[in-house]
Amino acid sequence: MTQRQNDQTIADVGEFALIDLVRGQLGTSDYVLVGPGDDAAHIATADGTYVTATDILIEGRHFRRDWSTATDIGRKAVAANLSDINAMGGVATALLVAFAAPGDTPVAWVTDLVAGMVEECAKVGARIVGGDMSAADQVVISITALGDAERPVTRSGAQPGDQVAFAGTLGLASAGYGALSRGFRSPKAAVDEHRAPHPPYAAGPAAAVAGATAMIDISDGLLADLGHVARASKVAIDVHPTSFEILDAVQTVAGALGGVDPLGFVLTGGDDYALAATFPADATLPEGWTRIGVVRSGEGVTVAGAPWEGGPGHRHWT
């Protein structure tokens, strides 16, 4: 490690540079078919393969107990993990849950949390099969999901000429967060989506069957996550802003916040856990997928041929 690295903090380098540093220390093996850097890892076993992913939710950063019920939080925690498996074109089958909380947390709150987790798992037929518990100063939920994918779709397969498409909802959860942050509890559609999203669980496997060349779930924002695809695939992606239907609830929040551009919620909000994927130019998009752009030679992500003014989405340690 250089002297400069010794002086840096994780906020200095940022999430993805930190991931790159860590990845360089990990090595690999014949069992690792797809390793760190994608939505999920693809692992070989003696009798087959599986995909696996993990996410962590921390009280005060990813959820607030005064905004969301325990059931909502349980659903959201599981949805974030099921979405990662979905983004590989797979279906989750089992989850391991690690839970930490202060000792004065009501037991009823924990049982409601688990009820939300079980409810969300049922949407794909997954089961919670184990985990761990500990004490902490705030609630922390860490989940590892495992699943099956007949043809895992990574972030690195996009080719110039491919069409770019998305499935699910964009902007609604981000608008809900904007409303809650200002003390509002409406519009209900936006606030409810922030509390507990509705990922398009059937869309990932359908995209894999239809020949998707790259795919990612939208957890940090459409532009930010398409940037991960562009970087992994060594291509450029251009998004057509007129391709999006901006929902009434998103427009309502944008207006209430003082004339904020509602397109910003669509392009940079991520908590809806929609999917973005690239497909060959001549591919027929599966039901529920909407074309929103094109892959080109070059690098980076643009909107109507120009850089987006403002940040592309969520960043840690900022």
pTM (2 d.p.): 0.85
**pLDDT average, residue stretch 306-312:** 81
Quote the CA–CA distance of 35 and 51 in Å, as a whole number. Answer: 10
Structure confidence at residue 34 as a pLDDT band (50, 70, 90): confident
Quote the CA–CA distance of 83 and 281 in Å, as a whole number. Answer: 25
Binding residues for substrate: 62, 271
Binding residues: 39, 54-55, 62, 84, 131-132, 155, 217, 219-220, 271
In this structure, is the dihedral angle defined by the CA atoms of residues 12, 13, 14 and 15, taken in order, positive or negative?
negative
Binding residues for ATP: 131-132, 155, 219
Is 175 a residue whose pLDDT tops 60?
Answer: yes
Nearest to 53 by CA among 68, 42, 67, 69: 42
Structure confidence at residue 311 as a pLDDT band (50, 70, 90): low
Interhelix angle for 70-86 vs 107-122, to 10°? Answer: 30
Quote the CA–CA distance of 12 and 317 in Å, as a whole number. Answer: 9
Structure confidence at residue 5 as a pLDDT band (50, 70, 90): low
Is 316 a residue whose pLDDT tops 80?
Answer: no
Average pLDDT, the chain: 91
Bridge partners of residue 42, in order along the sequence: 34, 51
Binding residues for Mg(2+): 39, 54-55, 84, 132, 217, 220
Q: How is residue 277 written in tokens?
A: 């994927």
Nearest to 190 by CA among 276, 266, 83: 266
Is 201 a residue whose pLDDT tops 70?
Answer: yes
Distances in Å between the alpha carbon of 24 and those of 2, 175, 218?
A: 15, 37, 25
Is 243 a residue whose pLDDT tops 50?
Answer: yes
**pLDDT average, residue stretch 228-240:** 98
Structure confidence at residue 65 as a pLDDT band (50, 70, 90): very high
Quote the CA–CA distance of 106 and 104 in Å, as a whole number. Answer: 6
**pLDDT tens digits for range 244-293:** 999 999 999 999 998 789 999 999 998 999 999 999 999 999 999 999 99
DSSP 35-96: -BTBSSEEEEETTEEEEEEEEEEEBTTTB-TTTS-HHHHHHHHHHHHHHHHHTTT-EEEEEE
Instruction: Please report the pLDDT score of residue 11 as a whole number.
Output: 85
Quote the CA–CA distance of 86 and 81 in Å, as a whole number. Answer: 9
Structure confidence at residue 3 as a pLDDT band (50, 70, 90): very low
Residue 203, H or E segment: helix 203-209
Residue 116 burial (CB count, 10 A): 22
Greater confidence (2 vs 121) lies with 121
Quote the CA–CA distance of 289 and 237 in Å, as a whole number. Answer: 17
Is 317 a residue whose pLDDT tops 50?
Answer: no
Instruction: Please report the pLDDT score of residue 312 as a whole number.
Output: 66
Q: Are strands 214-218 and 274-279 parallel, antiparallel or unpaired?
A: antiparallel
**pLDDT average, residue stretch 7-34:** 80
Instruction: Please report the pLDDT score of residue 2 as a whole number.
Output: 54
Structure confidence at residue 46 as a pLDDT band (50, 70, 90): low
